[in-house]
Amino acid sequence: MRILHISTPTGWRGGEQQVAHLINGLTNEVELQLLITPFQSELQKKMEATLTCVGYERKGSVNLSLARLIKNVCAEHKIDLIHAHDSHAHTAAFLAAVIYKNQTPIVLSRRVDFKVSGNLFSRWKYNHSSIKSIIAVSEAIKTILLPVINKKEIINVVYDCIDLIRYEGEADIHFLKRELNLPITTKLIGNLSALADHKDYPTFIRTAKELLSRHNDIHFVVAGDGPLKEEIMNRVKAEQLKKHISFLGFRKDVPQLLKSLDVFLMTSKTEGLGSVILEAFACGVPVVATTAGGIPEIVKNGETGLTTNIGDEIALATAVEKIIANPDYKNSLVTNATAFVNQFSVKATALQTKAIYQSLLK
């Protein structure tokens, strides 16, 4: 099989990590893989040493030059399948088929849990004959897709994955407390999600305020970057919580950060799956999260973690409190989650995806 991957973001977030994991997992499983991605994208920087990357200039959501590039790359390299990993990639691959008559079958990945637009163009591009499979990263996303996809049978669910090896080994669980000049006895509650609207950091802040009204030995950390960083930091300042919530910025030491937390708190209002939760599981950190999107498929309430309704800071605070007050209960959740996460390996996801590829090419 000769596969062309298309990924259009320039930055590095969960979706791009999943593209990298899939490509790495398919190494030695397929004959050829190529990647089309914007010039100097973070994905290109990470993959170009081991993979042929074809760069292009970003020109908005409808990019005819990208569509033409896709057609040319498919012809030159005798590509068997296109895998479009995001909405703009989907549009470009679709336009390559419609305008430039590219005959290469298309596989789509769908990672977001909001409804597909009902306009004619959107329905056309999702139901075009060139679209042979749509891979949803959770059952929740599949449910959202079903009403707009004419051929229901082309929708498959393949969960996101993590590099389990990265999270093995012991860590200095107190290093972050020393970095922040906090007492060793402090309980650290944190989130390592992008500072974006769907992560619902206002609820995270309200939950922090509620917990601080009950306990004085808790500190909160946020690692990551995003478009709402300044707005979120201003909100923390307005709530007079600046000394209680630390913003760590973008960090590469994710396993060490996670292992330093007492509870991972995810307050998202929409979420395809939430692969960072899988990372927390692998690091032995108990998780409290909302029931957004596909989260309940991995955070099984009372078994692998605790879930609450979206936007309910009282319930979120109570769930966190239950974990930090009951070490035996915490250990039970961690034990279950650690066993559960082993099924989300890079190789498992790659082989499931390969099976979909193979079924389309028979």
Coil vs helix vs strand at 132: strand
Span 173-199, pLDDT tens digits: 999 999 999 999 999 999 999 999 999
Same domain for 186 and 224, yes or no, is: yes
Span 82-93, pLDDT tens digits: 999 999 999 999
Query: Would the pLDDT of 135 be above 90?
Result: yes
Query: Would the pLDDT of 362 be above 90?
Result: no
Joined together, the tokens standing for residue 301 give 């309430």
Q: 285: domain range?
A: 166-343
Tell me, what's the pLDDT at 222? 97
Query: Would the pLDDT of 61 be above 80?
Result: no
Same domain for 183 and 287, yes or no, is: yes
Same domain for 26 and 106, yes or no, is: yes
Radius of gyration of the chain (CA): 21
Q: Are 353 and 133 in contact (CB under 8 A)?
A: no
Query: Would the pLDDT of 60 be above 90?
Result: no
Joined together, the tokens standing for residue 128 give 């075009």
* Region 267-294 average pLDDT: 96
Nearest to 83 by CA among 75, 65, 146, 74: 74
Query: Would the pLDDT of 81 be above 80?
Result: yes
* Region 2-15 average pLDDT: 95
Same domain for 299 and 330, yes or no, is: yes
Nearest to 46 by CA among 90, 9, 2, 1: 9
Same domain for 211 and 357, yes or no, is: no
* Region 198-227 average pLDDT: 96
Same domain for 291 and 219, yes or no, is: yes
Cα distance between residue 97 and residue 362, in whole Å: 21
Joined together, the tokens standing for residue 321 give 């409190």
What pTM does this model have? 0.91
Same domain for 157 and 196, yes or no, is: no
pLDDT grade, residue 170 (50/70/90)? confident
pLDDT grade, residue 21 (50/70/90)? very high
Query: Would the pLDDT of 72 be above 90?
Result: yes
Query: Would the pLDDT of 134 be above 90?
Result: yes
Same domain for 18 and 51, yes or no, is: yes
Cα distance between residue 291 and residue 298, in whole Å: 10
Same domain for 145 and 187, yes or no, is: no
Q: How many domains in the chain?
A: 2
Query: Would the pLDDT of 34 be above 90?
Result: yes
Same domain for 175 and 108, yes or no, is: no
Query: Would the pLDDT of 113 be above 90?
Result: no
299-308: long-range contacts at Cβ-Cβ below 8 A with a sequence spacing of 24 or more? 299/274, 300/340, 303/333, 303/336, 304/333, 304/336, 304/337, 304/340, 305/277, 305/281, 305/333, 305/337, 306/333
Same domain for 267 and 357, yes or no, is: no
| Neighbour order of strands in the sheet with 218-223 | 245-249, 218-223, 187-191, 263-266, 287-290, 306-308
The phi, psi pair for 345, rounded to 5°, reads: -75, 160
Burial annotation 209-238 (CB, 10 A radius, 16+ → b, else e): bbbbeeeeebbbbbbbbbebbeebbebbee
Lowest mean pLDDT among 11-25, 32-46, 110-124, 208-222: 110-124
Residue 197 CB neighbour total at 10 angstroms: 15
Span 282-294, pLDDT tens digits: 999 999 999 999 9
Same domain for 126 and 193, yes or no, is: no
Q: What is the CATH number of the domain that holds 141?
A: 3.40.50.2000
